[in-house]
Amino acid sequence: DIQMTQSPSSLSASVGDRVTFTCRASQSISSYLNWYQQKPGEAPKLLIYAASTLQSGDPSRFRGSGSGTDFTLTINSLQPEDFATYYCQQGYSTPHTFGQGTKLEIK
């Protein structure tokens, strides 16, 4: 299985900040990398697929980048509704494993 490692595991930030999360794959996954947002008590929501394509309806302050083994998710100008847990997932080979998540908390 391909292992996905996210860092940091948690992050504190303020409304209006810019934050960056990273996700590393244990082997090259080309651009088959997806990002999800999950709020407490809710199902995960797809934010970005294929490393950098924003899912329809998602705000443009979310930006994904990377290829191969190293990927980043950047949120510009944090909004109150952005405080959640973010997961990366590889879609390169089954099982399409998830990272362990990064919890974004309000400072």
Partner 1 sequence: VQLVQSGAEVKMPGESLKIACKVSGYSLNSFWIGWVRQMPGQGLEWMGIVYPGDSKVTYSPSFQGQVTLSVDRSTSTAFLQWSSLKASDTAMYYCARHAVVGYFDYWGQGTRVTVSS
Pick one of 21, 49, 71, 83: the residue that binds partner 1 (CB under 8 A).
Answer: 49
x-or-dash string of contact with partner 1, 62-91, rule CB under 8 A: -------------------------x-xxx
Which residues, other chains included, contact 44 with Cβ-Cβ below 8 Å and sequence gap of 6+?
A: 36, 37, 38, 87
3-state helix, strand, coil in the chain (%, to 5): 5, 50, 50
Return the structure tokens found at 57: 């309806």
Residue type for position 101: G
**Interface with partner 1, residue 99, by CB under 8 A:** yes
Pick one of 21, 34, 66, 75: the residue that binds partner 1 (CB under 8 A).
Answer: 34
Q: Which residues bind partner 1 (CB under 8 A)?
A: 1, 32, 34, 36, 38, 43-46, 49-50, 55, 87, 89-92, 94-101
